[in-house]
A = this chain, B = another copy of it.
Amino acid sequence: MSDNQQWHYENFDPTGSAIGYRITRKLDEVQSPFQKIEIFESTDWGNLMLIDGAMMLTTKDNFFYHEMIAHPALLTHPDPRKVVIIGGGDCGTLREVLKHKGVESAVQCDIDEQVTRMAEKYFPELCDSNDDPRATLMWDDGLAYIKNLEPRSVDVIIVDSTDPVGPAEGLFNKAFFADCFKALRDNGVLVQQSESPLMLLDLIKELRGEMGKAGFAEFQTLPFPQPCYPTGWWSVTMARKGGQGFAFRELPVDLATLYYTGTAHAAGQTLPPFVAQALK
């Protein structure tokens, strides 16, 4: 690739839309046993990480996603001490989780060590907390890890996965959610990235259905901007094990965020009418 500026696009078939960036060069590429990871340098978005051609994160805008997959779930739980992250190999979610001082242990279990190695090199700011004594990084099968957890041992499970194809396919169905249900303590919270609320509402509906079949009785889908993902509008879906609803604690005053606020969280709880209608 030359040093000239070029445009690199991700064509996303399920939404019929594409996102692209003006890039200056490819910084790295590795074929792991699981997937191809590419790193590009862009003119305006910092570095980009793509996995099998799909945009995973940019330096510039990853904070939307990482804050919204971590803080709503942790603040919905009254006192989260033990947190498990499935996927999340770039360590950005782990960093947000460890900003909560009450968290005593956070395990990040991604199938692909190469994702973390690339993050350490090209997104070092996301790996700030990897040496935190409360953090455990492992590279293993998340399905098996959750299945083998001691029942009622975890407060919050965060499923920070790629799209529901390839390695992440098994993270979107009843069998996996049933294992999460079992591993969570009685007032536990599960949160899963749940794709575009504009174009993939059927997937969100199906995801909530699978969570329901697994025993979860209450769901909440929160939309938020995420420029680097298809349609630029994304969502997380939370499920609670008990019947306690989705009231949430205030963000501690010393916990700095770029996007998350209690107001944004509360507002997300009132879905846009077309989304609410579709999820009925």
Binding site for B on A (CB under 8 A): 7, 9, 11, 13, 15-22, 42-45, 60-61, 63, 198-199, 223, 225-227, 231-233, 256-261, 263-264, 266-267, 270, 272-274
Contact = CB atoms under 8 A, between A and B. Distances in A.
Cβ-closest 5 pairs across A and B:
A232-B232, A267-B267, A16-B44, A18-B20, A263-B270
Nearest to A267: B267
A185 to B, nearest CB: 31
Contacts of A260: 272
Nearest to A13: B22
A7 B47 CA distance: 24
Name A's interface SS: mixed
Contacts of A16: 21-22, 42-45
Instruction: Name which of A9, A227, A256, A270 has the most chain B CB atoms within 10 A of its CB.
Output: A227
A172 B272 CA distance: 30
18 contacts: A7-B18, A9-B20, A11-B20, A13-B22, A15-B44, A16-B21, A16-B45, A17-B19, A17-B45, A19-B19, A19-B20, A19-B232, A44-B199, A198-B225, A226-B232, A258-B273, A259-B272, A259-B273
B264 A266 contact: no
Contact of A267 (B20, B231, B264): B264
A67 B42 CA distance: 33
A160 to B, nearest CB: 20
Contacts of A44: 15-17, 199
Nearest to A20: B18
B274 A264 contact: no
Nearest to A233: B225
A45 B226 CA distance: 19
Contacts of A15: 44
A18 B19 contact: yes
Contact of A272 (B199, B264, B266): B264
A263 B273 contact: no
B258 A274 contact: yes
A3 to B, nearest CB: 16
Contacts of A272: 258-261, 264
A183 B104 CA distance: 61
A267 B266 CA distance: 8
Contact of A223 (B20, B60, B225, B263): B225
A72 to B, nearest CB: 14
A148 B79 CA distance: 62
Contacts of A63: 274
Nearest to A21: B17
